[in-house]
A and B are shown apart, each in its own frame.
Chain A
């Protein structure tokens, strides 16, 4: 309500990020409500219906927060470049409509194993692949258009968006593979699904959101980031991304081994993947430390902004 009543004050045609944010808000409410339909006996009493609705709802819920995050990414791209075209281009709106379509129908790749109608699965596969690719292309094109001074001015935000771009392509590769129904049969329920989920959430969503945090900090406290904590932030950033790469690879390798499990001793199979799980755990710890370094500075500096003038107040005209 607050968002729509605020945004409609803008009489100009809305840039794509307003559309994305609004859509993310609306569809969050819809999909979160869907996720609670199990409370109604009609859904709970039929197992196939219950699984379809649950898996569908969480897939679409992911789409709703992706809308919020993509909108933020395109907003940052616009502001860092100083050029509105990334938010008003046909490609950007193409991404928006594809994202919306994916949000509404792409959930089906979560329900390949449920005995639903076959056309749903085929449809889901084609829808799922297009979205990530277009998003990666937008950010890639944006990066190549930036001049050095623009990259340096918002060095931390740019750094995180750059990482997000790389992770988009890495996750696209994995998503392409696991969305093929024949491969999905082996990867479903393995660590590969975890690699996809965490690789996307951490590598794409969190990188974009941290770019947002440090963009805000750079705008409000321009001297602080460069002067005091740039080295630590760079260190944290490298620690996170290197750890995430090890984390991602370890989960994929563990998942491949688990996917090949042919019904023999489960304990032997789990023992065989233990080295990968150890690598996963250790890289998880180092990734957490890297994030804590970044988050400590982000938390501290945003606190300074709030203390100085109250963050929700509009700037004087």
Chain B
């Protein structure tokens, strides 16, 4: 959940930069709109998944009284999500979009 909240905060920040760039195309040439837009969209959508999944991982054992099948898998899920997310953000920032 906390990672989701961080992603949301960052996604909003890039969204605001994108908004300014929409109005003033010369704003922040070092980080073009072609980068801020996918950063914004990817981060906020990631935050939706992260917060929703974080909630599910909380509710199942604590409220539904169903012990998690694998606590290690939860940890693995988190670290894979974080690692791939950071790689994706790095790719966007460096302009590597594939295609």
Contacts and interface: CB of A to CB of B under 8 A. Distances in A.
Interface in A110-128: none
B31 interface: no
18 contacts: A2-B68, A10-B64, A24-B52, A68-B56, A75-B59, A201-B44, A213-B1, A277-B22, A281-B20, A284-B16, A291-B8, A291-B9, A292-B9, A295-B5, A302-B1, A311-B57, A312-B71, A312-B75
Interface of B: 1-2, 4-6, 8-9, 12-13, 15-16, 19-20, 22-23, 44-45, 48-49, 51-53, 55-71, 73-75, 77
Interface in A46-75: 65, 68-69, 71-72, 75
B60 A315 contact: no
A2 B77 contact: yes
A68 B66 contact: no
A79 to B, nearest CB: 7
Contacts of B55: 72, 75, 209, 212-213, 216
A21 B58 CA distance: 13
Contact of B61 (A68, A278, A314): A314
B8 A314 contact: no
Interface of A: 1-3, 5-7, 9-10, 21, 24, 28, 65, 68-69, 71-72, 75, 79, 201, 205-206, 209, 212-213, 216, 219, 274, 277-278, 280-281, 284-285, 287-288, 291-292, 295, 298-299, 302-303, 306, 311-315
Given A2-B68, A281-B22, A303 B59 contact: no
Contact of B66 (A9, A79, A213, A281): A9
Given A2-B73, A288-B13, A65 B61 contact: no
A302 B60 CA distance: 17
A295 B58 contact: no
In terms of DSSP, what is the predominant structure of the interface of chain A? helix
Contact of A2 (B16, B45, B70): B70
Contact of A69 (B22, B52, B57): B52
Given A205-B48, A291-B12, A311 B68 contact: no
A174 B93 CA distance: 34
B52 A209 contact: yes
Contact of A298 (B5, B44, B61, B77): B5
A174 B60 CA distance: 35
A201 B11 CA distance: 13
A6 B67 contact: yes
B5 A284 contact: no
Contacts of A306: 2
B12 A6 contact: no
B61 A313 contact: yes
Contacts of B9: 291-292, 295
Contact of A216 (B15, B58, B61): B58
Contacts of A311: 57-58
Nearest to B67: A314
A219 B61 CA distance: 14
